[in-house]
Amino acid sequence: MIRIRSCEDPEACSRLWRELWPQTCFFDLWPVRFIFAEAFARTPYFLVAERQDRPVGMLALTYLAEQRQFVHFPGEVWQNKTWIEQNRMPVREQRLRDELLAAIPGPAHLRYLTPESEPAGGGLTLDEENFRFFPSSHGYSFDRYMQEFSHKSRKNLSREQVKLEEPGLTYRYDQFADLELLLDLNRVAYGEFSYFADQRFLRAFVRLCEWLSARNMLRITTLLIGGRVAAVDAGAVWNGQYTVLAGGTNGDFPGVAKIINFRHIAWACAERLEVVDFLCGDFGWKRRFHLQSCPLYKLHVHPENREQPPAMGDMHCVVH
C-alpha cells in the first residue's frame, strides 16, 4: 500500500534527495540546489510516496507565495521563471508520478523536466531546448569538429578571429577575482534582464562559485584582447561534465563570444570530457555551432478547490 506524505524539514529532505534523486549532472547535487534555496528564502515542500515506510518516489517542490503556485525546489526565479535545469520526478514505479501530482495541494508549474519524467497519464509539453557538445562524437578533436562548418563559415570565423588577435589575444584561468568582472559585464550588457539584477540570484551565484572553488570544480575563463578584458565565463566541472553557467562580454569587442565558446569546446576535446552543457536557449548561435539539441519539458497542474499550504518556516541545514 502506498502512502503519500509531505516533508518540509530541510535535513530530512536532504536525505530523501540523496536517496531518490539520480546524480547524473551538476544540477542534481543537493548543495547546488540548497544554495539557491537559502538565497531565495525557500522552504522545501517534498511529497514522498512510501511503501511499508520506505520511500519509493518523490516530488521535490517549494511554494512560491508571490506566484501562488508550486515549482521545483529550490524555487530560484529570473523574470518570473525558474532557472535550474534537468528537473525530475524520481519514482520507482511510473504510475506513482500521477499519484504524487494529484497530491499537490495547489497549482504547480514544473519546468525543465527530463523526458523520463513523463507521468503515466501524460501531460508533458515542450518547454525549451538544452544545447550540448559531445567531444566523443568528434573523436575528441577540435579540428574535426571545425570541419563540420562550411568552407565559407570557417573563412568568416577565421577572419573574425584574426581581427581580434591583432592587438594580442590571451587567456587566463581560474582567477576568482575575475568573477566580479563577469558580473559587471553581464549587468552592463543586459541591464534589468541580467540574472544578476536580482540580488537574490546574485548572492546565490557568488555563493555557488565559492562552493565550487573550494572543491576545485570551478572553471573561470577570462579572454583578454590587447590587455583588456573582453569576456569572462564561469562554469562547473563535475564527473567529466562541463556546465557553462554564465558569462559576460565587453561590447567593445564584437564577435568575442564566439571565440570564448570555441575555447570551451577545444578545451573539452583536449581534456576528453563527456559533455559540455551550454544550457537552454539558442541565443542565435548554438544551432550554428552544431550543438546537439536536447528537449526539456514542462507540466502545469491545476487542481481545483485545494487549500494552499500553511506558512513555511526558516531553513536550518548545513551545505556539505
Mean pLDDT (whole number) for 265-291: 96
Binned at pLDDT 50, 70 and 90, residue 313 comes out as very low
CB 25 within 8 A of CB 79: no
**Read out DSSP for 281-310?**
--TTTTTTTTPEEEEEEEEEE--SS-PPPP
CB 104 within 8 A of CB 68: no
The string of pLDDT tens digits covering residues 19-42 is 999 999 999 999 999 999 999 999
Residue 307 has pLDDT above 60, yes or no: no
Residue 283 has pLDDT above 60, yes or no: yes
pLDDT recorded at residue 302: 87
Mean pLDDT (whole number) for 59-82: 95
Residue 316 has pLDDT above 70, yes or no: no
Place of cell 559576460: 248
Query: Helix %, strand %, coil % for the chain, to 5?
Result: 35, 30, 35
CATH 3.40.630.30 domain range(s) in the chain: 135-273
Residue 80 has pLDDT above 90, yes or no: no
CB atoms within 10 A of CB 276: 22
Q: How far apart are CA 264 and CA 244, in angstroms?
A: 9
Candidates 203, 201, 209; CA nearest to 176 is 209
pLDDT recorded at residue 305: 45
pLDDT recorded at residue 315: 42
Q: How far apart are CA 244 and CA 265, in angstroms?
A: 11
pLDDT recorded at residue 280: 96
Share of the chain above pLDDT 70, in %: 95
pLDDT recorded at residue 242: 98
Residue 260 has pLDDT above 70, yes or no: yes
Provide the CA 37 distance to its chain's centre, in angstroms. Answer: 14
Instruction: Tell me the CA end-to-end span of the chain in Å, nearest whole number.
Output: 35
Candidates 242, 296, 297; CA nearest to 266 is 242
CATH of domain 2-128+296-301: 3.40.630
**Would you say how long the chain is, in residues?**
320
Q: How far apart are CA 117 and CA 97, in angstroms?
A: 8
Does domain 135-273 match CATH 3.30.70.100?
A: no
Residue 199 has pLDDT above 70, yes or no: yes
Q: How far apart are CA 183 and CA 249, in angstroms?
A: 10
pLDDT recorded at residue 246: 97
3-class state of residue 102 by DSSP: helix
Query: In terms of pTM, does the model score above 0.85?
Result: yes
Q: Which residues contact 219 (CB under 8 A, 6 or more apart)?
A: 173, 174, 234, 235, 236, 237, 242
Q: How far apart are CA 32 and CA 21, in angstroms?
A: 13
Look at 87-91, 104-108, 156-160 and tell me which has the smallest mean pLDDT: 156-160
Binned at pLDDT 50, 70 and 90, residue 120 comes out as confident
Q: Decide which of 92 and 259 is more confident.
A: 259
